Amino acid sequence: MASLPRSMSDCDGDFDADCYGDFEEGVLNPPQPPKDLLLQLISLQKATGSWDLVPELAQVFGKTEEEVAKQTPPQVDSGLWATVLALLWLYGFRGEDEDEWQFVAMKAVSWIRAQKGGSVSQCVQAGNTLLGCQVQQGTLGL
């Protein structure tokens, strides 16, 4: 059996920071791989088909939660706003992956149609401006 390096052989099994001092910084805390934004968006969808306006969702859009919230059209529920933004992002930036998210989008559209009040067309227009895309409301199935 190979013996441990001298600096490790003096460790008694309990955590002792001195025993780990020779390790490179990146080994104990490896860098996290970049997140797949599509998977992040999908993981944030609620069972109802909607999204909440949370920092993680804003991150998918490359914005802060505050930036996104400030652009909410007047008298529009934040859940409706977040859900329309999610659909716009899917169609505007991940259209080539539609086979992966089409059922996610269908559920979101069903949820939006069931909502009372709130102007979807206002949300689409403001969302396109915020995200920098040009997705038509009809493309979303709304």
pLDDT tens digits for range 125-140: 999 999 999 999 999 9
State residue 131's pLDDT score.
Answer: 98
Note the pLDDT of residue 27.
56
Please state the separation of Cα 29 from the chain's center in Å.
23
The amino acid that residue 102 corresponds to is Q
Q: Quick check: 40 and 60 in contact, CB under 8 A?
A: yes
CA nearest 127: which of 103, 93, 102? 93
Which residue has tokens 């659909």? 87
- Give the whole-number percent of the chain exceeding pLDDT 70: 75
User: At 27, which amino acid appears?
Assistant: V
pLDDT band at 94 (very low <50, low <70, confident <90, very high): very high
Measuring CA to CA, which residue among 47, 45, 71, 48 is closest to residue 56?
Answer: 45
Q: What is the pTM of this model?
A: 0.76
What pLDDT is stored for residue 49 in this prediction? Answer: 98
Q: What's the rounded Cα separation, in Å, for the pair 96 and 127?
A: 20
pLDDT at 19 exceeding the cut of 60: no
What are 56-82's pLDDT values in tens digits?
Answer: 999 999 999 999 999 999 999 999 999
For the record, the structure tokens of 48 come out as: 């109802």
